[in-house]
Homo-oligomer: A and B are copies of this chain.
Amino acid sequence: MLRFLTAGESHGQGLVVILEGMPAGIEVNEEELSKELSRRRKGYGRGARANIEKDDFSIVSGVLNGKTTGAPICVLIPNKDYENWKGKYVPIYAPRPGHADFPGMIKYGFEDCRPIAERASARETAARVACGYFAKKLLQKEGIKIFSWVVSIGEIEANLPPIEERMSKVDVVEKLFQLAELSEVRCPNLEDSERMKKLIDQAKEKGDTLGGIFEVAVVGVPVGLGSHVHWDRRLDARLAASIMSIPGVKGVEIGLGFQLAKLFGSEAHDPIQKPKRPTNKAGGIEGGISNGEIIFIRAAMKPIPTLANPLPSIDVRNDQPCPAHVERSDVCAVGSAAVVAEAMVALVLADALLEVKGGDRW
């Protein structure tokens, strides 16, 4: 069983993750991990912070001579900005709507939202990406690969191959991924990427923010991950939790998702044929179990809740109306969320794979 805990605050000393349960013998290297971290960081619409972040990390434990040892893996990502913040305390009295600020402050009994905002920062997801890197490497040994791309930013939907192809054809998936890697907004249609960037520019100008929709596709998954036998062992349930846990995500679909609700049964399912099923509307999961097809997940991310042109809020000291707190933030981070989703999916699948295959060394 894989377990991991992350720690760290936005302006604290750094982020830390401990991943427990990895078998020994998985080859890993720092360049790859660095690249993963930078894939999350980059992106049009990300703030100046994204560049400050571009920093060191260290694999503190669990890796020896380029291979996992079976011991807990710890990655430490120091915060380069820390020295500027050390000892400073900038309270947040006007909680940002859509953020953990308001409910968090009440829950934990603080008089301002700063302690909440520090931990609720999306920067925490860097720790998840670091953690997910190790899971990806384990999956790779079994030929399982994870891809993601952005299909829409705000109202702009990318012109892409139809969803039926995106979820069923390995070559389409690989092509979309390659293109997405080239795009500053992680959108595989590079023309639409430009339109999206313009929309982001406009939003920025207005002090506004944007969300969007991304997709994750997993290729090479064997039949049999997850199980129908108990609700909490269903692969779709675990994936849904892992995706919905990404800050800003408000919707998750497996396969055709909500579209399936409108179809008749005769239209909604994927005939079983040899050597290959003709469709993959189920998104690779039937009865909570991977069925050997591409696992296909869609997720909706709401716009970032920190607006330069702030939303109405209240001053928590007197309940009087005031504009919400403004803090340096991104305008759009859908592409980053997609990379985080890859990591979360990798962790869920690696855990499911270990359950099936067991193993102390791989």
Contact = CB atoms under 8 A, between A and B. Distances in A.
A36 to B, nearest CB: 17
Given A7-B74, A250-B256, A360-B108, A100 B288 contact: yes
Contacts of A203: 264-265
Contacts of A304: 265
Contact of A72 (B5, B286, B301): B5
A107 B253 contact: no
A232 B260 contact: no
Contact of A103 (B212, B232, B287): B287
B356 A356 contact: no
Interface residues of A, number: 144
Contacts of A261: 152, 154, 211-213, 250-251, 300-302
A21 B230 CA distance: 9
At the interface, is chain A mostly helix, strand, loop or mixed? Answer: mixed
A155 B264 CA distance: 9
A272 B230 contact: no
A103 B292 contact: yes
A115 B69 contact: yes
Interface string A72-116: 111010000000000001000001111111111011111000111
B360 A358 contact: no
A137 interface: no
Nearest to A266: B208
Nearest to A17: B18
Contacts of A253: 250-252, 300
17 contacts: A6-B231, A7-B73, A16-B74, A16-B76, A24-B110, A69-B118, A70-B108, A70-B227, A106-B224, A116-B287, A152-B262, A237-B245, A240-B252, A251-B251, A259-B300, A266-B311, A272-B311
Please give me the 5 A-B residue pairs with the lowest Cβ-Cβ distance, nearest first: A100-B287, A358-B358, A209-B265, A107-B224, A109-B361
Given A72-B119, A211-B260, 9 more contacts: A5-B230, A7-B61, A64-B115, A70-B229, A99-B286, A109-B360, A259-B300, A271-B313, A272-B311
Interface of A: 1, 3-9, 12-14, 16, 18, 20, 23-25, 58, 60-62, 64-65, 69-74, 76, 89, 95-104, 106-110, 114-116, 118-120, 128, 152, 154-155, 203, 206, 208-213, 223-224, 227-232, 234, 236-247, 249-266, 268-274, 277, 282-283, 286-292, 300-305, 307, 309, 311-314, 319, 321, 324, 344, 354-361
